Structure 1
Amino acid sequence: MHPNLPERLFPTARSEAATANKPTSVPQTEHPAYALAFQDNDFLLKDEMRPVRLQLELAKADLALAEAGIKSMFVFYGSARIPAPEDAQALVDNAKTDRERAIAESLKAKSVYYEEARRLARMVSGEGAMQRYFTVCSGGGPSIMEAANRGAADVGAPSVGLNIVLPFEQVPNPYVTPGLSFQFHYFALRKMHFLMRAKAVAVFPGGFGTFDEMFELLTLIQTGKVAAMPIVLFGREFWNKIINFEALADEGTINHADLELFHMVDSAEEAWAIVREHYSI
């Protein structure tokens, strides 16, 4: 543009907002109706404005990720309850009943997955030029999510955290890159952001949330809504015990070919090899 030509015709929304925040005090300006629509929380939080809030949740993280140059991600799903190896024994020691102790011992045994998630994140984040293709993304919380962001931090790489507002307090784990830490109200929009840039997905042992995310992804690929990508399920023993995938195929509720949509692995090396083979890198 020629230097003598103005870059903008209209003032920015930011400058207009600053002016609007300093009105002359008269009855009309004191009434909430006078506030600019995009600064009026009472208006934005009305049930009727849900479509706008959905759009805002999609746009905010999308723009921030684009501005950060993040075009593709390696997504980590998994439990919020599996302890880090250094914290596992304390979980057992604090158990008060036999049942609590048995559960604590089970979670302690699964702490190996915390370490594998951390190792995998370290691998995919430390491959030089490939970092930008496999930016680590987790749900931003504790346990497996923390391990993923921690692995990226180990090698000085950025990582994304997609937190969700829950009835109980959820604080982002300390390893998420602050400028890439987002909070969502709508699960649907959070799920979209997990997959919009996903190029590979690692699924670790988890509960309802992990199963929800995993089966939705498998369904999207099965129905052609999402392109096929490497999906690695960590822990053959866990998955074979919890879900009988073969039985689903034998019952006819899925095709036997659907069992090829994912791979079961036990180590970070095995998972990374599958991803590299898929993309011939």
Structure 2
Amino acid sequence: MPKDNKHKCSRDAIYHQKMEERLKIMRTELLDMAYTFCKEEVENTIVFFGSSRTLPEAKAKKNLEIIKEELDRSPDRPQELIDRFREAEFKHYMSLFYNSAEELAFRFSQWSQEKFTNPLNQFIVCSGGGPGIMEATNRGAQRANSRSIGLNIQIPTEQSPNPYISPELSFNFKYFFLRKFWFFYFAKAFVVFPGGMGTLDEVFELITLVKTGKMKRYVPIVLFGSKYWRDVINFEPMIQHGAIKRGDVDCFIYSDDVDETFRYITAELEKHYPPQH
């Protein structure tokens, strides 16, 4: 056999081996998850998206106080310290969303257990399984003595599963697209907190699925933290340039209030997904 053909056969064998390994992982992340969700009687979820960098308020406040003390003690007030103080101020502001996410997850979990006696009808809160808003979500559910789901992902900078996920519903994904599949498959509502690139990716895919009819059922969507979302995403120029229609952004509401969000989501769920006996 010519040398070039030998190299080609070797490359093909490696390619097919790697492809088989990938397909095996994909099959596991699809079929094994399906079996587990069926076994655990999961049919309805309320999905929370948001930043992994959001700190609990107490921790963010303490960090801010420490840096403020450093700044007050420094006679020359170096720019590096001023920048750190400003960053700590923003982190403290963002930490308020941690509290809101935890409280909402607590209330949704409590409401679901009280309203829906059949486990198959209950709404289980679901997060990305990591720190920040994800941790707050699972933490709130645990406070309500309720199960919660964590869909973790293997990436270099993150992340270990947070300790508040129900062990039987804690999953670790290699592939983003399969993780997203399970975010959307059971979802009946979404609450999206301020976040970075990953959260933006999830928001735009969610809106795309709704507006293209790929998500055929109705799902209430709340973008929590109106100032953040209006600052970060300005849909008006897209409408003015004809890239989207005004009706393309009517599938969600903005909110800054836990009570308002809770009332809106629960009313919509009770209306569109009444208990089945």
Name the TM-score class by shorter chain. Answer: 0.7 to 0.9
**Corresponding residue for residue 254 of structure 1:** 244
| Equivalence for 1:226 | 215
Whether 1:100 aligns to 2:87 is no
Shift in Å, 1:45 = 7.1
Q: 1:157 aligns with which of 119, 122, 146?
A: 146
> What is the CA–CA distance in structure 1 between the aligned matches of 2:158 and 2:131, rounded to whole Å?
12
Higher relative contact order (CA 8 A, sep 6+): 2
Residues 194 and 225 of structure 2 are in contact (CA less than 8 Å); yes or no, is this contact kept in structure 1? yes
Matches of 1:82 and 1:220 in 2, distance apart? Answer: 27
CA separation of 1:161 and 1:98: change in aligned 2, threshold 3 A? same
Residue 115 of structure 1 pairs with residue 115 of structure 2: no
Q: Deviations over 1:34-80 (max 9, x none)?
A: xxxxxxxx9x9733342332122111222111111111100000001
The structure in which a higher percent of residues are helix is 2
Tell me, yes or no, if structure 1 residue 271 matches structure 2 residue 261.
Answer: yes
TM-score under structure 1 normalisation? 0.80
Give the superposition deviation at 1:94.
5.5
Which of the residues 243, 259, 265 maps onto 2:233? 243
Partner of 1:182, secondary structure, is strand
1:162-241 map, 5 Å:
162-227=151-216, 228-241=218-231
Tell me the residue number matched to 1:60.
Answer: 32
For structure 2, the 5+ residue unaligned runs are: 1-13, 69-79
In the alignment, is the contact (CA less than 8 A) between 2:192 and 2:203 conserved in 1? yes
RMSD: 2.1
2-structure distance, mates of 1:230, 1:45: 43
How many residues align? The count is 240
Mapped to 2, the partners of 1:45 and 1:119 lie a distance apart of 47
Partner in structure 2 of residue 25 of structure 1: none
The equivalent residue for 1:71 is: 43
In 1, Cα distance between equivalents of 2:266 and 2:158: 38
Structure 1: stretches of 5+ with no match in the other structure: 1-41
The AA in structure 1 aligned to 2:43 is K
Aligned-pair CA distance for 1:160: 0.3
What is the SS of the residue equivalent to 2:157?
coil
TM-score (norm 2): 0.81
Map of 1:85 onto structure 2: 57
Distance 1:91 1:74 in 2: 32
SS of the residue aligned with 1:52? Answer: helix
After TM superposition, what 4+ stretches of structure 1 lie above 4 angstroms from structure 2?
none
CA distance in 2, matches of 1:251, 1:266: 29
Q: Distance in 2 between matches of 1:153 and 1:68?
A: 17
1:47 equivalent to 2:37? Answer no
- The 1:94/1:184 distance shift into structure 2, 3 A limit, reads farther
